[in-house]
């Protein structure tokens, strides 16, 4: 049974934005999230658990990207979240170096 046309994204740019935000943006956010956790907590335990939790978080972020109306807003949210998580990671490495 074909999909109902009113639920499909009409613009190719929106389709491209949603697909790339789902794949790349979700991956970036999930990896930087686990890097930020590893900089503040026991990095060995975080790395071991991230083998499963990073994939689950990435899958959830992929679904969230397709739920949004505007793909470029999803990209903006993912980039903003990545920036905030990177700042947390940066200060975590300054306060807790892994040396």
Q: What is the pLDDT of residue 24?
A: 94
pTM above the 0.85 mark?
no
Q: Contacts by 77-82 with C-beta closer than 8 Å and gap 24+? A: 78/21, 78/25, 78/26, 78/28, 78/29, 79/25, 81/29, 82/25, 82/28, 82/29, 82/32
Residue 72 falls inside a structural domain? yes
Residue 79 falls inside a structural domain? yes
Q: What is the pLDDT of residue 46?
A: 83
Residue 30 falls inside a structural domain? yes
> If you write DSSP's letter for every residue of 4-60 in order, what string do you get?
PGGGS---HHHHHHHHHIIIIIHHHHHHHHHHHHHHHS-HHHHHHHHHHHHHHHHHH
In which domain, by residue range, is 87 found? 26-94
Q: What is the pLDDT of residue 78?
A: 95
Residue 38 falls inside a structural domain? yes
- pLDDT tens digits for 14-66? 889 999 999 999 999 999 999 998 888 888 888 888 889 999 999 999 999 98
For residue 99, pLDDT beyond 70: no
Q: For the chain, how many structural domains are there in total?
A: 1
Q: What is the pLDDT of residue 12?
A: 81
Residue 32 falls inside a structural domain? yes
Q: What is the pLDDT of residue 69?
A: 85
Q: What is the pLDDT of residue 43?
A: 80
Residue 11 falls inside a structural domain? no
């Amino acid at each position: 049974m074909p999909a109902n046309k009113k639920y499909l994204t009409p613009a190719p740019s929106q389709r491209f934005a949603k697909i790339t935000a789902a794949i790349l943006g979700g991956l970036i956010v999930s990896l930087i999230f686990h890097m930020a956790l590893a900089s503040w907590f026991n990095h060995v335990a975080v790395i071991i658990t991230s083998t499963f939790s990073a994939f689950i978080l990435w899958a959830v972020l992929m679904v969230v990207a397709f739920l949004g109306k505007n793909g470029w807003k999803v990209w903006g949210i993912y980039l903003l979240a990545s920036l905030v998580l990177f700042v947390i990671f940066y200060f975590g490495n300054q306060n807790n170096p892994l040396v």
